[in-house]
Chains A and B, each alone.
Chain A
Amino acid sequence: MEKQKIFRSTYISKLKKNLLNGKTVHLYKEKEFEYDKEKELILPTVFKPEGLLNKMNEKDDLKSAIALYEAYCDFTPIQASDDRFWTYLTHVDLFSYMQKRRNKHLTGEADNEIEYIMKYWFMKSTSQQELMRHSLAGLWWGVYLSVDETRENKYELTNILFRQLDFPTRTLGTYRLGRHKEAVIGILQFILENDELFNSKFEKKTRYITKYLNLVGGTKPLGYFDRTFYINELNKIKTKISQI
Chain B
Amino acid sequence: MKYNNIKYPYPVLSNIDDSISGKVDIFQLDIWENGDDYIIDIELELKNTDIEKLISNGQAEYVVELLCSDTLYRKTFKSPITKFSLEIPKSNLKGNVTGKIRVLSKEKIYDYKNSAAHPDYEGFVINIEEGDVLAIFNDFKFYAHINYKNLKAVASFMEVVGDEETDTFFVELENEKINVHLPQNDYDIFIKDKILKEKEFVPLIHSSIVLNALLIALYSFDEHTDKSWAQAIIYRMKNEDELKGFISDDDELEKDNIPEIAQILLGKPITRLINKLNDFDSDEDEY
Contact = CB atoms under 8 A, between A and B. Distances in A.
Nearest to A229: B131
A219 B133 contact: yes
Interface string A59-86: 0000000000000000011111100000
Nearest to A183: B74
Interface residues of A, number: 29
Given A9-B176, A126-B95, A223 B65 contact: yes
B224 to A, nearest CB: 12
A141 B72 contact: yes
A179 B72 contact: yes
Nearest to B10: A219
Nearest to B175: A9
Candidate in A14, A77, A131, A180 with the most chain B CB atoms within 10 angstroms: A77
B72 A131 contact: yes
A221 interface: yes
A221 B100 contact: yes
Nearest to A225: B131
Contact of B72 (A9, A14, A125, A178): A178
A78 B102 CA distance: 27
Contacts of B67: 176, 179, 223
B63 interface: yes
B138 interface: no
A77 B72 contact: yes
B260 to A, nearest CB: 30
A143 B175 CA distance: 28
A127 interface: yes
Interface in B78-111: 89-95, 100, 102, 104
Contact of A126 (B70, B73, B102, B181): B70
B161 interface: yes
B76 interface: yes
Contacts of B73: 77, 179
A78 B91 contact: yes
A145 interface: yes
A13 interface: yes
B69 A128 contact: yes
Contact of A224 (B63, B163, B176): B63
Interface string B171-198: 0101110010100000000000000000
B52 interface: no
Given A221-B76, A224-B76, A77 B91 contact: yes
Nearest to B100: A221
B75 interface: yes
B240 interface: no
Contacts of B100: 221
A125 B226 contact: yes
Contacts of A218: 6
A221 B8 contact: no
B97 to A, nearest CB: 12
8 contacts: A10-B179, A76-B91, A77-B72, A176-B67, A179-B73, A219-B132, A220-B133, A221-B63
Interface of A: 9-10, 13-14, 76-81, 125-128, 131, 141, 145, 176, 178-180, 218-221, 223-225, 229
Q: Which 9 A-B pairs have the closest CB atoms?
A: A76-B91, A77-B71, A179-B74, A179-B72, A223-B76, A9-B175, A220-B131, A126-B70, A223-B65
